């Protein structure tokens, strides 16, 4: 799914053949280690979310979790631990202003490409060579089919909850109604992305 030509036409093959590595790309463009991540958290196991999660029926949570574990809920990020920062996976989960949310992560990545700052700037800068492979924000969005997260202009992010420029101390939903709004918007994105991925797979993977 992720092994496809880069925007300039160079191949980007992710292999599992090196012992001790999850996915690796090694070419003239460099050596890159990648790890997989589930990108739309349900927050079902987050201790801080327990008072809200406990008010929601298990069937609702199960349906969201099942969708979350479809292909539309997966992506790869740089997986090697570099001095100075957490990995992408670690930083997005440990940064309260991101709270592991994909919409906020993609906004941080958008800002990285446009030379703007975000709570993930230090980590994204530490892995700038990886993001440089895709040349620009559109190249990144195309490679990891994320177009369904963007607005009609193809540049701005459609957030799962109202966005306040990373001003809040925590990006977690604050009550049951807000959690359900987050879930519904995230689920709409996941369904759309699954369709987009399925179409790509039929056309490219036989």
Flag the least confident range among 25-34, 90-99, 119-128, 161-170: 25-34
pLDDT > 80? residue 200: yes
pLDDT for the residue numbered 176: 98
pLDDT > 90? residue 158: yes
Count how many domains the chain has: 1
Q: Is 127 within the bounds of a domain?
A: yes
Q: Is 166 within the bounds of a domain?
A: yes
Domain ranges, residue 36: 23-204
Q: Is 15 within the bounds of a domain?
A: no
Q: Is 132 within the bounds of a domain?
A: yes
Taking CA atoms, 32 is separated from 13, 49, 120, 121, in Å, by: 10, 35, 20, 19
Q: Is 14 within the bounds of a domain?
A: no
**Residue 17: which of 3, 38, 29, 37 has the closest Cα?**
3
Q: Is 16 within the bounds of a domain?
A: no
Mean pLDDT of 68-84: 91
Q: Is 4 within the bounds of a domain?
A: no
Mean pLDDT of 48-68: 97
Q: Is 5 within the bounds of a domain?
A: no
pLDDT for the residue numbered 124: 97
pLDDT > 80? residue 206: no
**Residue 148: which of 185, 112, 116 has the closest Cα?**
185
CB atoms within 10 A of CB 141: 21
CB environment 83-93: b (16+ within 10 A), e (fewer): eebbbbbebbb
Assign 34 a pLDDT band (cuts: 50, 70, 90): confident
Record the pTM. 0.94
Average pLDDT over all residues of the chain: 93
pLDDT for the residue numbered 151: 93
Taking CA atoms, 35 is separated from 16, 64, 94, 181, in Å, by: 11, 23, 17, 29
């Amino acid at each position: 799914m992720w092994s496809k030509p880069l925007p300039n036409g160079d191949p980007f093959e992710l292999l599992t053949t090196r012992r001790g590595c999850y996915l690796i790309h090694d070419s003239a463009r460099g050596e890159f280690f990648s790890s997989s991540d589930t990108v739309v958290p349900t927050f079902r196991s987050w201790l801080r979310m327990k008072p809200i999660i406990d008010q929601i029926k298990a069937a609702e949570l199960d349906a969201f979790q099942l969708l979350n574990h479809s292909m539309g809920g997966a992506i790869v990020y740089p997986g090697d631990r570099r001095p100075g920062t957490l990995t992408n996976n670690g930083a997005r989960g440990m940064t309260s202003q991101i709270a592991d949310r994909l919409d906020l992560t993609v906004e941080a990545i958008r800002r990285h490409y446009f030379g703007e700052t975000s709570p993930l700037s230090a980590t994204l800068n530490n892995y700038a060579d990886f993001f440089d492979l895709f040349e620009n924000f559109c190249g990144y969005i195309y490679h990891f089919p994320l177009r369904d997260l963007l607005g009609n202009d193809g540049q701005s992010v459609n957030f799962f909850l109202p966005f306040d420029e990373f001003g809040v101390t925590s990006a977690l939903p604050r009550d049951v109604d807000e959690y359900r709004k987050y879930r519904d918007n995230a689920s709409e994105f996941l369904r759309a992305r699954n369709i987009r991925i399925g179409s790509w797979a039929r056309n490219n993977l036989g």
